[in-house]
Amino acid sequence: MKVAYLFATSRHSVSYVLAKMILPQLEEGRHGADVVGMFFFEDNNYVLVDGNPIGARLVEVARRTGMLLMACDQCCYEREIADKLFEGVPIGCFPDLYAALGGNPPDQVITL
């Protein structure tokens, strides 16, 4: 099964659920689903700022697996971090996300 995650709620979803649950499973190859993409909203985008240790681990997994990481454009511009993201992490809106996942669509989308 292929899944995509939307990180839309408080930063706790990134600092705890992603960092302590999902990411270790992805790093160890035991998540149980093929994660094809992650899209970040609001303050969750800070995990994608170059230098963030959780983001560094996430980017490494994404590069190894081909998983898409994408940041919300409006959220990044409002926070003035659009030019501070890890190299290769695009910013966009839903149409960009749909296009990016079009060739490898998820079976399920999970919002955290």
- Return the number of other C-beta atoms located less than 10 Å from residue 22's C-beta: 22
User: Do the Cβ atoms of 77 and 83 come closer than 8 Å?
Assistant: no
pLDDT attached to residue 30: 97
pLDDT attached to residue 11: 63
Position 79 pLDDT exceeds 70: yes
Position 3 pLDDT exceeds 90: yes
Query: Which whole-number Å values give the CA distances from 75 to 16, 24, 42, 97, in the listed order?
Result: 21, 26, 5, 15
pLDDT attached to residue 10: 76
pLDDT digits (tens, 9 = 90+) for 101-112: 999 999 999 999
Q: Using CB atoms within 10 Å of the CB of residue 98, give its burial: 0 to 12 exposed, 13 to 18 middle, 19+ buried.
A: exposed
